[in-house]
Amino acid sequence: MNNEMKPTDLFKRIAGLLQSARQNVVRTINQTMVYTYFEIGRMIVEDEQQGQERAEYGKGVLKELSVKLRAEFGKGFSVQNLENMRKFYLLYAVDTKSQSLIRISENSNFTLSWTHYLVLIRIEKQQERNFYEIEALNNNWSVRELKRQFDSALYERLALSRDKKGVKQLAEEGQIIQKPTDILKDPYVLEFLNLPEQYQYSESDLETAIIDKLEQFLLELGKGFTFVARQFRMTIDEKHYKADLVFFNRLLKCFVVIDLKIGELTHQDIGQMQMYVHFHDRNVKLPEENKTIGIILCKQKSNVLVKLTLPENNDQIFASRYQMILPDKQTFIKLLNETEV
CATH at residue 319: 3.40.1350.10
Any domain includes 3: no
Amino acid at 174: G
User: Are 53 and 93 contained in the same domain?
Assistant: yes
Distances (CA, A) of 283 to 23, 114, 131, 277, 341: 45, 50, 39, 10, 46
User: Are 170 and 254 contained in the same domain?
Assistant: no
Any domain includes 106: no
User: Are 83 and 145 contained in the same domain?
Assistant: no
Q: What is the pLDDT of residues 80-101, one digit of tens each?
A: 999 999 999 999 885 433 334 4
Are 61 and 47 in contact, with CB atoms under 8 Å apart? yes
Catalogue the E-assigned strands of the chain: 188-189, 225-236, 239-249, 254-264, 293-300, 317-323
Rounded Cα distance, 321 and 334, in Å: 19
User: Are 96 and 163 contained in the same domain?
Assistant: no
Residue 64 has pLDDT above 70, yes or no: yes
Q: 158: domain range?
A: 120-182+328-341
Q: What is the pLDDT of residues 109-148, one digit of tens each?
A: 688 999 999 999 999 988 999 999 999 999 989 999 999 9
User: Are 317 and 341 contained in the same domain?
Assistant: no
Q: What is the pLDDT of residues 163-204, one digit of tens each?
A: 778 888 888 888 889 999 999 998 899 999 988 765 678 899
DSSP strand pairing (239-249 vs 225-236): antiparallel
Q: What is the pLDDT, as a whole number, of residue 168?
A: 84
Helices (H) and strands (E) in the chain, counts: 14, 6
Lowest average pLDDT, out of 89-93, 98-102, 159-163, 274-278, goes to 98-102
Q: Does the reported pTM lie above 0.85? A: no
User: Are 197 and 319 contained in the same domain?
Assistant: yes
Q: Please state the domain count of the chain.
A: 3
Any domain includes 50: yes
Q: What is the pLDDT, as a whole number, of residue 341?
A: 47
Q: How many CA atoms lie within 13 A of 140 on its CB side?
A: 1
Any domain includes 111: no
User: Are 144 and 92 contained in the same domain?
Assistant: no
> For residues 109-143, b (16+ Cβ closer than 10 Å) or e, as one string?
ebebbbebbebbbebeeeebbbbbbbbbeebebeb
Distances (CA, A) of 42 to 19, 31, 267: 35, 16, 60
Any domain includes 238: yes
Q: Can you tell me the mean pLDDT for 316-324? A: 93
User: Are 60 and 125 contained in the same domain?
Assistant: no
DSSP strand pairing (293-300 vs 254-264): parallel
